[in-house]
Amino acid sequence: MLLARKLVLAHFWVAFVAFLGAILLGEWQMFVRSPLATWVNNPEHYYRSVTAHGTVMAYVLPTLVAMGFGYAITELALERPLIGLRWAWAGFWLVILGTILAAVTMAVGKASVLYTFYPPMIASPLYYIGVVLVVVGSWIWVALMSINLRAWKKDHPGVSIPLAMFGNVAGAYLWAWTSVGAATEVLVLILPASLGLTDTINAGLARVLFSWTLHAIVYFWLMPTYIAFYTLVPRAIGGRLYSDTMGRVAFVLFLVFSMPIGIHHLFADPQIGAGFKFVHAAMTAMVSVPTLLTVFTIVASAEIAGRLRGGKGPFGWVKALPWDNPMMLAVTFSFVMLGFGGAGGLVNMSYQLNETIHNTQWVTGHFHLIFAGAIVIMYFMVAYELWPQLTHCGPLPQRLMKTQLWLWFVGMMVLSMPWHLVGLLGMPRRMAYYDYTHPDLQSQAWTVIASTIGGLLLVVSAAVFVYILATAHRGARLVPKTFTFSRPAHAGAATPVALNGFGLWVAMMIGLTIVNYGFPIAQLALLPEAWVPVIPIGGRG
């Protein structure tokens, strides 16, 4: 039963069309930076493109997917119509308005500040207002998720919240508190400077506030994927979810540990004390726990599927898995990329090892592998799973779906592995061009060509993805089968009261953020030396 079909489709279509545009920009960047092209004539165009690619991929795509998926889960898991449909549309249009505003500002070259927009670089105020509108639109979604859950709980006292909805609301609360950092930065520091009200900006404080959002946002992107792991994968491959409780534990651990760790992005920043850097590094290590729990649980769920299909022995069940099933393929690819990306992430978060790869191409490789690889490949699966419900189409073409997933996996590996390698060799990220005629760089030239080819595979995969979704709108309409989520191996087991609500975990999330961020923020806010002159980008001439 999915009543808000138009709403969810609108979110998904805008997300995926923007995604297709941004992936073309990404491939263009890779091409002009490679020895295949002559140097980009105007480096500003490169940075404009990086800003647009990053803004769409990091803010617009995941926000719209999380929102659309969240609305779908609310109706499918709670089995009742969405409360506040009109508000949901208002949120959607705010996101669209913000995206258009930011896109136009970027296109005319008034916002080439890269998507992390670090001060003292300052873009036109319209760019920031656009980003703020996207965030405010998503806050409406947060409120609606909370309201819908509350209403359901009131009507179902003592019943456990369905796991999909539990993860969904955890993601919403996580995003609400995550976005506070960057929202504060934009409203209190950047917009006054961008509007010309001040000539200086507290760059140190701005970076600290942004780091609050910058790392936790990753877990907001990740939530739809983890919800898919727990509630779609076991059902789709014909197994049972090994543990429903483990899913809840993973979701609340993300809530608690994703915020107070962002300073590991600022290891090279002199304005932060070494003590806080260590504390954030230690807490970042903690956030690998829910991921390891998830990998364990999903592999155990797959084992159940394998054994149900007649697999025997310690590894026989692996062979018995439904390898011709796109979901099986996707979750395998996702875990492989999560494994490599996660291992790279452990390098990034450790205070000492970070020195060797800080601001190198390694970092770009890391977050492409984790986000664009492990996470986005599951966004594809979420869309494929929901499409028959949304469009009432027949079964999607399995072969084409598998080709698309293979292309994405191979493309992402070919794109990001050379980046890791040259990152270790010291190639800086965010450079518009390299002089490959230089003997020191010549030996690295092939890696950039390899990445360009990987990027091309990704473009093809993205086009196939959009083609599959678009063609599903044609053809006969069928009444879709009732949508189901995974059933746990031990159905009916009691859910601990602490894992059937969020109060304790939200309190711990806020408390730990204050402990880990309170002092650095207060100290930098009071430090007059942290104020530096603003550098407007695209200001004149």
Partner 1 sequence: MKARGMYAWANPWFRWSLASIIVIAMCSMLIGFVWLPSVQPDFTAQGLWASICRAAGVPASWAPDLDTTRSHPQSTDVVLERTMARAAAPDAVGRGATLALNCTMCHGARGLSISDAPNLAGQYPEVVIKQLHDYKVHKRASSVMEALAQGLSERDISDLASYYAYLPKARTAATTYAEALPALVRVGAPMRNIAPCISCHGGVDQKLGTPWIEGMPLDYLEAQLKAFRSGSRHNDSEAQMRNMARAMTAQEIDAVSAFYARKAPTGESR
Residue 166 near residue 241 (C-beta atoms within 8 A): no
Q: Which of 1, 17, 42, 470 binds partner 1 (CB under 8 A)?
A: 42
Among the listed ranges 7-15, 69-77, 265-273, 447-455, the one in contact with partner 1 (CB under 8 A) is: 265-273
CB-nearer residue toward partner 1: 86 or 440:
440
Concerning whether 215 is annotated as a catalytic residue, the answer is yes
Among the listed ranges 181-189, 220-228, 276-284, 473-481, the one in contact with partner 1 (CB under 8 A) is: 276-284
Helix (H/G/I), strand (E/B), else coil: 536: strand
What is the 8-class DSSP label of residue 228? H
- 314: part of which helix (H) or strand (E)? helix 313-319
Encoded one letter per residue, x for contact with partner 1 by CB under 8 A and - for no contact, window 141-180 reads: ----------------xx----------------------
Q: Which amino acid is present at 123? A: A
Residue 137 near residue 145 (C-beta atoms within 8 A): no
Q: What is the rounded distance in angstroms from the CA atom of residue 122 to the CA atom of residue 194?
A: 6
336 binds partner 1 per the rule CB under 8 A? no
Residue 468 near residue 398 (C-beta atoms within 8 A): no
445 binds partner 1 per the rule CB under 8 A? no
CB-nearer residue toward partner 1: 121 or 232:
121
276 binds partner 1 per the rule CB under 8 A? yes
Concerning whether 430 is annotated as a catalytic residue, the answer is yes
Q: Is 448 left (phi over 0), alpha (psi -120 to 50) or beta?
A: alpha
Angle ∠(34,415,444) on CA atoms, nearest 5: 45
Radius of gyration of the chain (CA): 23
Q: What is the rounded distance in angstroms from the CA atom of residue 192 to the CA atom of residue 270?
A: 25
CB-nearer residue toward partner 1: 81 or 428:
428
Which residue among the candidates 48, 53, 207, 215 is catalytic per the annotation? Answer: 215
Nearest distance in Å: CB 513, partner 1: 11
Sequence-ordered list of residues with C-beta below 8 angstroms from that of 513, at least 6 positions apart, any chain? 177, 212, 259, 260
SS3 content of the chain, % helix, strand, coil (to 5): 70, 5, 25
Concerning whether 207 is annotated as a catalytic residue, the answer is no
Which residue among the candidates 48, 280, 366, 420 is catalytic per the annotation? Answer: 366
441 binds partner 1 per the rule CB under 8 A? yes
Helix (H/G/I), strand (E/B), else coil: 261: coil
497 binds partner 1 per the rule CB under 8 A? yes
Concerning whether 367 is annotated as a catalytic residue, the answer is yes
Q: Which of 143, 463, 508, 510 binds partner 1 (CB under 8 A)?
A: 508
Which residue among the candidates 257, 367, 434, 502 is catalytic per the annotation? Answer: 367
25 binds partner 1 per the rule CB under 8 A? no
272 binds partner 1 per the rule CB under 8 A? yes
197 binds partner 1 per the rule CB under 8 A? no
Encoded one letter per residue, x for contact with partner 1 by CB under 8 A and - for no contact, window 395-434 reads: ------------------------------------x-xx
Residue 109 near residue 125 (C-beta atoms within 8 A): no
Q: What is the rounded distance in angstroms from the CA atom of residue 146 to the CA atom of residue 323?
A: 38
Tokens of 450: 């390899």
Nearest distance in Å: CB 472, partner 1: 42
Nearest distance in Å: CB 463, partner 1: 31
Which residue among the candidates 48, 235, 368, 420 is catalytic per the annotation? Answer: 368
349 binds partner 1 per the rule CB under 8 A? no
CB-nearer residue toward partner 1: 383 or 524:
524
- 200: part of which helix (H) or strand (E)? strand 200-202
Peptide bond into 192 cis (omega under 30): no
Among the listed ranges 326-334, 364-372, 398-406, 492-500, the one in contact with partner 1 (CB under 8 A) is: 492-500
Range 45-104, binding partner 1 (CB under 8 A): none
Q: Alpha helices, DSSP H only, in 185-260? A: 191-194, 203-231, 233-236, 244-257
Q: What is the rounded distance in angstroms from the CA atom of residue 111 to the CA atom of residue 123?
A: 5
Q: How many amino acids of this chain bind partner 1 (CB under 8 A)?
A: 57
Tokens of 144: 């609606």
Residue 60 near residue 11 (C-beta atoms within 8 A): no
**Active site amino acids:** 215, 219, 366-368, 429-430
Site residues (CB under 8 A) for partner 1? 38-39, 41-44, 157-158, 196, 199, 256, 271-279, 282-283, 286, 431, 433-435, 438, 440-441, 494-501, 503-504, 508, 511-512, 515-516, 519-520, 523, 533-541
